[in-house]
Amino acid sequence: MKNNFKTIAVMTSGGDAPGMNAAIRAVVRTAIVKGINVLAINGGYEGMIDGNFSEMNAESVGNIIHKGGTIIYTSRSERFRKPSWRKVAHEQLQKNNIDAVIIIGGNGSFAGAATFTSEFKIPFIGIPKTIDNDVFGTDYAIGFDTAINTALDALDKIRDTANSHHRLFFVEVMGRDLGFLALYSGIAAGAEAILVPEIKTNMEDLIALLEKGWQRKKNSMIVVVAEGAVKGGVMNIAEQVKMKFNHFDIRVSILGHIQRGGNPSCFDRVLASQLGNHSIQALLKGKKNVVIGMKNNKISYTSFAEASSYKHTVDQNMLQMANELTK
Which mean pLDDT values do the consecutive 10-residue runs of the chain (327 residues) have? 86 97 98 97 98 97 97 95 98 98 96 96 97 96 98 97 93 94 97 95 92 90 94 92 90 96 97 98 96 97 94 93 86
Establish if 324 belongs to a structural domain.
no
Calculate the alpha carbon distances from 217 to 157, 169, 204, 238, 250 in Å: 21, 16, 20, 21, 16
Per-residue confidence (pLDDT) for residue 112, from 0 to 100: 96
Count, in order, helices (H) and strands (E) of the chain: 11, 11
Q: 315 in a domain, yes or no?
A: no
Using an 8 Å Cβ cutoff, are 90 and 32 in contact?
no
Condensed to tens digits (0 to 9), the pLDDT of residues 55-75 reads 999 999 999 999 999 999 999
Same domain, residue pair 204 and 246: yes
Catalytic amino acids?
A: 132
Confidence at residue 94, expressed as pLDDT on a 0 to 100 scale? 97
Domain membership of residue 2 (yes or no) is no
Percent of the chain with pLDDT over 90: 91
What does the mean pLDDT of the chain come to?
95
Is residue 253, in this structure, part of any structural domain at all? Answer: yes
Give yes or no for a contact between 291 and 301, defined as CB atoms under 8 angstroms apart.
yes
Same domain, 250 and 272: no
Cα 6–38–269 angle (5° rounding)? 130
> Do 135 and 279 share a structural domain?
yes
Q: Positive or negative CA dihedral for 237, 238, 244, 248?
A: positive
CA distance 107 to 109: 6
Give the residue from 70, 69, 98 showing the smallest Cα distance to 9: 98
Residues 17 and 139 in one domain: yes
Per-residue pLDDT, 1: 53
Both 39 and 172 in one domain: the answer is no
Residue 264 DSSP label? P
> Do 131 and 163 lie in a common domain?
no
pLDDT of residue 231: 87
**Domain of 204: which CATH number?**
3.40.50.460
Number of domains composing the chain: 2
Instruction: Please indicate, yes or no, whether residues 128 and 149 belong to a single structural domain of this protein.
Output: no
Q: For the segment 235-257, what is each residue's pLDDT rounded down to a tens digit?
A: 999 999 999 998 889 999 999 99
Q: According to the model, what pLDDT value does residue 97 have?
A: 97
Task: Give the range of the structural domain holding residue 32, as residue numbers without chain letter.
Answer: 7-143+264-309
pLDDT attached to residue 203 = 92
User: Does 73 share its domain with 106?
Assistant: yes
3-state secondary structure of 186: helix
